[in-house]
Amino acid sequence: MTELRKGLALATLLLSGCGDGRPDDMLGQNPVSLLQSAKPYDIVAACSFERLNAQQGSAVHKADLPTDDKIVVSIDTGGVKYFEATFKRVSGNQTIIDITSARTMWGPFPAEKMIAEVRDCAS
């Protein structure tokens, strides 16, 4: 049992040096892009969800938050959120899209393909 405790203490010590010592740095969310669209937020979100679902499969999730006039589309597996796009109505048909991507121990999650799909739907 003491060997297990020593191993866990060593792993904790080693990992504490990653990401400047802040616990959210390893898998924290990095702001990636802020887009604007003249299309309704629900139309842009639906298009993005369909395209990302075709690309990423069952890891894509959608949360409708009508009281906040926003929809969140995310890519996550095993409790880790790798990508998130929040589609929010600003006024009328104006939409703001806030995109974040996870920072992993290997660097930022490569979200370029996902951003391109969202951008295509927004234009």
Domains, the chain, with CATH or none: 23-122 (3.30.160)
Q: Is a pLDDT exceeding 80 seen at residue 26?
A: no
pTM of the full structure: 0.71
- Of 51, 41, 35, residue with least CA distance to 93: 41
pLDDT score, position 25: 40
Q: Is a pLDDT exceeding 60 seen at residue 83?
A: yes
- Of 97, 84, 100, residue with least CA distance to 41: 97
Q: Is a pLDDT exceeding 90 seen at residue 85?
A: yes
DSSP state of 69: T
How does pLDDT run across 42-78, given as a tens digit for each residue?
Answer: 999 999 999 999 988 888 999 999 999 999 999 888 7
As a whole number, mean pLDDT of residues 14-32 equals 47
